[in-house]
Chain A
Amino acid sequence: MFDILGEILETMKRNKMRTFLTGFAVAWGIFMLIVLLGAGQGLQNGVRSNFEGRAINSVTLFPGWTSMPYRGYRADRAIRFDERTVDFVRTNIPEVVNLSAWIMYRPQSIAYGKEYGSWNIEACTPDLFYLDFMVIVKGRFLNEADMRAKRKVIVLGKQAEETLFKGEESLGKYVEADGIAYQVVGVYDRPQSQSFSSSLYIPLTTGNQLYNRGWGIRGIEFTVNGIDSEEQADMLTERIRALMGPYLGFDPKDTSAMYVRNSAKMAAETQKIFGYINMFLWVIGFACVMAGIVGVGNIMLVTVKERTREIGIRKALGATPWSIVRMVIIEAIFITTVAGYIGIIFGLGLTELISRGLSAAGGGGGGNTPAMFQDPTVGLGIVFAVLGLLVTCGVVAGLIPSLRATRIRPIEAMRAD
C-alpha cells in the first residue's frame, strides 16, 4: 500500500500545477456543498428559534364570519366567543392542558409621569404565562384573583418598564392608559424570542368590562397533550370544529366561521419544507461536486494519454491490468480526497466563522427583528457522508481513464515517441 502511494505521489509531483488545478475543482465543489448545507441548516435553525418563543403543541381558535347557512341561521353571521365559550372549550376538549383567552387592542398610549410610549394592551387569562414562555423578571403575572375581582392591574414588558420608569422601581406604581390607571404588578421578559415582546397584559375580565365593544373574545389558545403527528393534529382540528359548530351555531365544514391555528401542524409542515430545501441544496451541492469529478476524470484521461508510453513500459515489465487500474484509480481517489478534505476544512471554517459572527451580532436578526438565520453549521454525520461521497467520486473519476489505460498495447505505446 505504501509502495502504491509512493508511486502515485511521484507521478503527481511531476505535474504539480495540473494536480493543483484538478484538486481545486473538487475542493471548490465540496466547499460549496458544505456552505450550502450550512446555509440550509442556518435557515432551519433560525426559523426554529422563532418557534421557540411559543408552545409548539398549541391550538388557537379565532372567531370569524359564517359562509354557509346552518340550522336555519343565515350565512354571513359573526361568530362570537365569550367567557362561556372559554369554559366550554376547557371542559369539552380532554387534551387541553393550559388555556388562555385574550382581547387584543390597537397600540395604546401608556404614560407614567412625563414618560410615555405606545404598546399593545392584551387582556388575557393567567394561563397565557404557560403558553408564551415568558419569564417574570419581577413581581408576578396575572392570577385568578385579578380575574375574579376584575382588578385594574398590568404586567409590563421589560422594554416598556425601562422606557417608562428609567430604572425607578415600577412595582405598585400606577401607569395611565386611555384615562384609566393600572397598578403594575409584574415585569416579564421573553429571552428566547425577539418577536413578540411588546404587549402589556391586563386581566381578561377587566379588559372585557372596560373595552368590550361587542367583539367578544378575540382568541382562545390552549396547549394540548399527546399530539405528535400531522394526522393527529388534523384529527384534533376536525373534532374541535365538530364540537364548536353546533355550540356556536355554524356548520363544522364552514372554515371561515372559526379559524383554527394548529402549531403542531405548522411545525410539521415547516419540517417538511426544510426537508425539500435540504434536498434541493444537496442536489445543487452535488452538482458542484460532479463538476469537480468530471474535471478529475478529464485530467486523468489526459494523464493516461500522456503516460501511454510509461504504461506500455510498465506492462512490458510485467504490470498486470489490475495493477494499472489500481494505479489510476488510487491516484484519482487520492486527488479527490485530499482536495475534498481541504474543501471540507474551508467550508466548515467559513460556516463556523459566519456562525460566530451571527451570534456576536445578537442572534442574526439584530434588534427586534426575528432571526431568520442562525448557527449555519453542518453536523459530523454530513461531513462523513461527504467524505464517503468523495471516495466514491474518486473511483468514478478514475474508472474510465483506468480502463482506457488497460487497453494500451505495450508494443505501440513504446513505439510512440
Chain B
Amino acid sequence: MYCNFLLTGASNDKNRTDIMIKIRGLNKTYNLGSPNALHVLKGIDMNVAAGEFLSIMGASGSGKSTLLNVIGILDNYDTGEYILDGTLVRSLSETRSAELRNRKVGFVFQSFNLISFKNAMENVALPLYYNGVPRRKRNDLAMEYLEKLGLGSHAHHLPNELSGGQKQRVAIARALISRPSIILADEPTGALDTATSREVIEIMREVNRKEGITMLIVTHEGAVARATDRVIYLRDGVIESDKKNEKPVIEF
C-alpha cells in the first residue's frame, strides 16, 4: 500500500553495535520505601539485536509501559543494568538523558502526541530543533520524511485537520527524522481502526526493513504482536515468555 519508500541515504548501519538493548536484572519499584510500594519490574533480563522488529505484550499492569519508559530513558530504574546502543544508561543528568533521547530514541505514542499548534512539518522537524539544526534545513528534511510517508500534501495542516492514521504517520516521521538507533512505539494502533492500524503497522515494518532501525512495539493486541518477528510476554513484572515469530503476518 505504502511502498513509495525509496530511501536515498540507506543506513543499514553495519558499524552500529550488534546488540541494541542489553538489560540485566533490572528492578523498578514505585514509591520505594513507603507502605504502598509497587514492585513493577522484577529482574528483567533481555537482549535486543540491532535491526530487530519485536513486540512486548502484556495485560495492563504487567509493567510493559514502565519497561518502555525505562528503555526510552524517560524513567529511571533502581537496580540492574541497561545498556542502550553501547551506552550505559544509569543515573544520568536530565540534560544528558535528554541528549541521549534526542539522538538515539524515537517515540511513537498511542495518542500521537503531536503539538496541536504546529503543523505537520513543524512537528516532524521538532527533534531537529533540539539537535541544533537550522530552521530551513530541518524543514526541508521534515518535508522529505513526510513525502516518504505519503503526507507531502498535508505538510501545512495542523494535527486536528488530519485523520488518526495521518497523525500517526506524522508521528512516525517525527520519530524517524533524527535517525535514531531505536524506535519505541507505545500502543501505536490503540486509537486507530483496523484498516488504519494495518496501514501503520505496514509502515513500521517497512521502516524497519528499509532503514534497519530497531523497532520495539508495546501492545496488548495480539494482531499487532503477530506482525512482529519476536514477542516478549510480560506478566506481573517478569518475562513470562520470549518467542521468535517465524511467520509474521499482518492480519487485521
Which residues of A are at the interface with B, using a C-beta cutoff of 8 A?
Answer: 2-3, 6-7, 10-11, 14, 309-310, 312-323, 406, 409-411, 414, 417
Contacts and interface: CB of A to CB of B under 8 A. Distances in A.
B103 interface: yes
Interface of B: 69, 72, 74-75, 94-95, 98-99, 101-103, 107, 109, 111, 113-118, 126-127, 129-131, 134-135, 174, 178
A308 to B, nearest CB: 12
A318 B103 contact: yes
Contacts of B126: 314, 317
Given A310-B116, A414-B113, 19 more contacts: A10-B117, A10-B118, A309-B113, A313-B114, A314-B126, A316-B72, A316-B74, A316-B101, A317-B101, A317-B130, A318-B103, A318-B127, A320-B95, A320-B130, A321-B98, A322-B95, A323-B130, A410-B74, A411-B74
Nearest to B94: A321
A318 B98 contact: yes
A198 B134 CA distance: 77
A309 B113 CA distance: 8
A2 B136 CA distance: 12
Contact of A318 (B99, B109, B113, B135): B99
Nearest to B68: A411
Given A11-B117, A314-B130, A320-B130, A414 B101 contact: no
A6 B118 CA distance: 12
B107 to A, nearest CB: 5
B127 A317 contact: yes
Contacts of B127: 317-318
Given A10-B117, A10-B118, A414-B113, A316 B107 contact: yes
Contacts of A310: 115-116
A320 B99 contact: yes
Contacts of A314: 115, 126, 130
B212 to A, nearest CB: 21
A321 B178 contact: no
A320 B93 CA distance: 10
B40 to A, nearest CB: 13
Contacts of A7: 129
Contacts of A321: 94-95, 98
Contacts of B116: 310
Contacts of B101: 316-318
A317 B133 CA distance: 14
B35 to A, nearest CB: 22
Nearest to B186: A414
A303 B15 CA distance: 44
A10 B126 CA distance: 14
A14 B117 contact: yes
Contacts of A318: 98-99, 101-103, 127, 130-131, 178
B94 A320 contact: yes
B181 to A, nearest CB: 13
Contact of B174 (A3, A11, A309, A317): A317
Q: Which of B72, B99, B102 has the most CB of A within 10 A?
A: B102
